[in-house]
Structure 1
């Protein structure tokens, strides 16, 4: 689930790179980051084209594919924002993190990051309800109700993401306003005090709380789905001749795919939380290392989706030809 650190996660202090080796390391990480984002752009763009073509031809799209194309679209836009912001800070390493350009970039980043996490959570919830072989009355009831809820679920995710981005934008604006006021009054120290308070408590609390809610939802339902698939696979293996059975292989492949989704999503969430605690200037090696680590998860996930979905692979190959 992949993203860069927002303005609440970066300080205004800047250090000059001490040696030419550090410059090379930062340049290398910057190139790796941009290339990774471009791979994610191509992967998510392929999913959008494949599902969009199917939508246009059939005039309809399954509920699962609506969630999938929404996730791919949010990630596609997010990767371009990541590229744009990192090119900007790479060319202007001593830029004030709360100027007008940075406020705009981080407003868009906060919104797209939150929507990506929420869409992943909704996709995990949908997988669990539709695929899990649980016989609880609640799950049976949800199997028939969830498809009709999907448009409202997507709108709710957009609404929650908008709330997160607006709250962060307000904090960014307050810091910038106090910076301008402090610049006019050199002896005024309230500007730095407010900035430190917002960075340490306000931004971190808002982001972690808003990221944790969909992450916990995703984790709970994916855990239920994995348990259900493991139980079903055991029954299938007992009733079949072994792993060569086609159904057993299909269950094993589905189990591994879902497990990879779960690991990637949790890794992305942990990277975001750890990144939110970092306070590194733009030109430091640590900042760019976190960028690469965070976005590595968002690059792998769409590739896994394409590799595990024969229908998407067929459409992509057809369009390429």
Structure 2
């Protein structure tokens, strides 16, 4: 990571400040969503299926940002000992679990919108359109289970590194320990990160492609319609398409960023590390803001306040 040098250049300090500023924005954004939906839950005793998914997504991101702040603050203060410190066990498990929940919640949100909004008349799609609302709670519990299992697999690898380090540190075999850590990163952690992230990402991408295709086909049909509501509907579809494309691009950017970060192909420089971290959470911050702006319930509450 960092090589023991605690001196920071001005550009790196700017990136670090921007990164923690993004974390603060994400905490505020997702905290706002949780407050609004929590108030609705308290008043109505339940939430709509889409707001259940949104609550899960926002809660995971809200808690994740606190863990991200703690983990990166620890990296900043103790760059050399962080990979082999017991604190790493807790912070990494926290990040692995909540990041997985966030990815699966995004995937479920994409599937839900795809099934509910798509205009395809395939029997499977029609069956899901009527049934998916009943399955949302169970799908969320399933995502928790998968995320917990994934985090446990990461924990096993991290604990193995810490255990071997604690034994071999007594024998002063630091070079051997570093080689072992690199081998685990290459042959265990990286494939695990790719598999655990690619599955929900693929579900999200497929859902968005189907939904965007469906709306585009419906918009073309409307061009040949003589309905008096044509202009209003056309504008609504155009806005929906722009929003979905934005979601697609932001999620793709985030997925690409975490894959590059997991591959360890970036130079081990402070500027690269903090710049890449800022890029990852900038995508999430913009996506969270779009979720707020495109949810009438959240906007109505804000105006009422």
TM-score, with structure 1 as normaliser: 0.89
Paired with 2:302 and 2:55, the residues of 1 have a C-alpha distance of 14
Alignment pair present for 1:36 and 2:18 = no
Secondary structure (helix, strand or coil) at the match of 2:119 reads coil
Match of 2:103 in 1: 117
Q: CA deviation at 1:94?
A: 2.9
1:43-68 CA-to-partner distances (Å, cap 9, x unmatched) read 11111111111122122211111111
C-alpha RMSD over aligned residues = 2.1
Alignment pair present for 1:266 and 2:255 = no
Match of 2:125 in 1: 139
Q: State the structure with bigger RCO (CA 8 A, min sep 6), 1 or 2.
A: 1
Alignment pair present for 1:102 and 2:74 = no
**Equivalent residue runs for 1:67-216 within 5 Å:** 67-187=53-173, 190-216=176-202
1:207-227 CA-to-partner distances (Å, cap 9, x unmatched) read 110100111111111100000
Q: CA deviation at 1:192?
A: 3.1
Runs of at least 4 residues of structure 1 off by over 6 A? 241-244, 279-283
Paired with 2:301 and 2:174, the residues of 1 have a C-alpha distance of 62
Q: How has the CA–CA distance of structure 1 residues 279 and 180 changed in structure 2, closer, same or farther, with 3 Å as cutoff?
A: farther
Q: How has the CA–CA distance of structure 1 residues 37 and 185 changed in structure 2, closer, same or farther, with 3 Å as cutoff?
A: same
Q: CA deviation at 1:93?
A: 3.0
Match of 1:302 in 2: 288
Alignment pair present for 1:61 and 2:47 = yes
**Any gaps of 5 or more consecutive residues in structure 1?**
1-10
Alignment pair present for 1:236 and 2:227 = no
Q: How has the CA–CA distance of structure 1 residues 280 and 236 changed in structure 2, closer, same or farther, with 3 Å as cutoff?
A: closer
Contact (CA 8 Å) 2:75, 2:82: kept in 1 or not? no
Contact (CA 8 Å) 1:82, 1:109: kept in 2 or not? yes
Paired with 1:210 and 1:306, the residues of 2 have a C-alpha distance of 27
Match of 1:14 in 2: 3
**Any gaps of 5 or more consecutive residues in structure 2?**
none
Paired with 1:300 and 1:223, the residues of 2 have a C-alpha distance of 20
Contact (CA 8 Å) 1:93, 1:283: kept in 2 or not? no
Paired with 1:100 and 1:240, the residues of 2 have a C-alpha distance of 68
Paired with 1:87 and 1:186, the residues of 2 have a C-alpha distance of 28
Contact (CA 8 Å) 1:45, 1:72: kept in 2 or not? yes
